[in-house]
Chains A and B, each alone.
Chain A
């Protein structure tokens, strides 16, 4: 017997596209609650006059961007998404193409900067969509009919410090710490501090790299579940803060908005570490979309699209 594949209601798919598109545009204009709160906290305790001036400029920029409804930073990134989709989410079949279309729509409407350049052909597609762009990580959630979506605008500046290294266990976590701090005082300086630092620790370089990015999706101030790793987060944060990079790397009281570690078990012969950083204008947001297409903006309390 011929198997019938039921296609979803087109207008509902369009509604899904519209929600993700509007959400993406919003992220380009308004920082999530946790980032806004952390920046205010850092600004309040700053004593260096240059650093204070820079924090005031940031605050003013975010106000004007929200008023004028414009992307607060011109580099709206190559869009990445972490898609935690319920196995029973009714639009799972259409989701991949819907997310692509949402990015293209947001690019026209926000408008976002055209940041998708096809490699080798070296042509800008002009739509922010292209080969594997937006870049999407898929996570299938059993026994769920909802979609939890993280949308992240990783700009070029904060993507540049991204690096990883597979160490020999003899180098230990001391080697991990040195690797992270070296990135901070070299590339980190130019990546728009105060940074959110994501560290992935595991076996191979690909898993470490993935976890270092995943760490940037966590709310600022959250801790690793493992108490030892949580202490490592605090210790590394204190160490980077003691360098006093300040906003824009022009010196100040602190250096970072937070340090987040994500980890996996490792092969006894290797320990891989990777670092990804988010700039002060950390434009990532999380939205929860229900099967009836009602939604909640988890990173912007009470906000609607």
Chain B
């Protein structure tokens, strides 16, 4: 059965969600990436959006202005960007904003794990490159903030319906799917290298 989370999300909602689960999200999600994180954490600027119980999307979309309007945009194409770039900020970000669901691409590290565990949040992967599937779940861009940052970095507040599939990569207990996989990958890499070294002795 399809597991659909609805924003605002509570700690209770996250308690049975484990790494490797596939979920969907309805309600609201705000695109939020490099410079927005930097402004909040390093420059102490207040975010123009309330994220308590909310969700952020590490993403920089393609939007198009709706003809005949002053400030309405439609979502054309939106997919996740590399979450690891936000790792440096994410513990503080979760603490300060009360965000519950972070969606992005690839894994995140120990700071995000700690933030998820301590403040009850999860990180999910939206399979990247599938930007039209994501865009068509956006019902409306309700508002936009910090447009001085340009199209990719603006905070686009999106109303979404069954946004996903989202693969849970860090759960609210701080388990980390990518880190678990990395251990296996690195073991296999060492084996592969030992074998490969026998085949590449071109300098004799």
Specify whether A and B are partners: yes
**A residues touching B (Cβ–Cβ < 8 Å)?**
50, 53-54, 57-58, 60-61, 64-65, 68, 70-76, 111-115, 117, 123-124, 126, 156-157, 160, 169, 172-174, 176-178, 181-182, 184-185, 189-192, 228, 231-232, 235-236, 239-240, 242-245, 247-251, 279-281
Contacts of B191 in A (CB 8 A): 242
Is B151's CB under 8 angstroms from A242's CB?
Answer: no
Contacts of A76 in B (CB 8 A): 62
Alpha-carbon distance A205/B200, docked complex (angstroms): 21
Is A75's CB under 8 angstroms from B188's CB?
Answer: no
Contacts of A279 in B (CB 8 A): 128-129
B201 interface contact, C-beta 8 A: yes
Contacts of A50 in B (CB 8 A): 20, 22, 167
14 contacts between A and B (CB under 8 A): A61-B131, A71-B131, A72-B77, A75-B79, A115-B152, A124-B151, A126-B151, A172-B202, A174-B200, A181-B189, A185-B182, A190-B107, A232-B199, A232-B200
Looking at chain A's contact residues, the main secondary structure is helix
Is B193's CB under 8 angstroms from A178's CB?
Answer: yes
Alpha-carbon distance A279/B131, docked complex (angstroms): 14
Contacts of B196 in A (CB 8 A): 174, 177, 181, 235-236, 239
**B residues touching A (Cβ–Cβ < 8 Å)?**
20, 22, 59-62, 64, 76-79, 81-84, 105-107, 125, 127-133, 135-136, 150-152, 165, 167, 177-178, 181-182, 184-186, 188-189, 191-193, 195-197, 199-203
Alpha-carbon distance A167/B143, docked complex (angstroms): 51
Contacts of B76 in A (CB 8 A): 70-71, 74, 111
Is B203's CB under 8 angstroms from A169's CB?
Answer: yes
Contacts of B59 in A (CB 8 A): 74
Cβ-Cβ contact count across A and B, 8 Å cutoff:
183
Is B192's CB under 8 angstroms from A181's CB?
Answer: yes
Alpha-carbon distance A243/B151, docked complex (angstroms): 37
Is A113's CB under 8 angstroms from B152's CB?
Answer: yes
* Closest A residue, CB atoms, query B191: A242
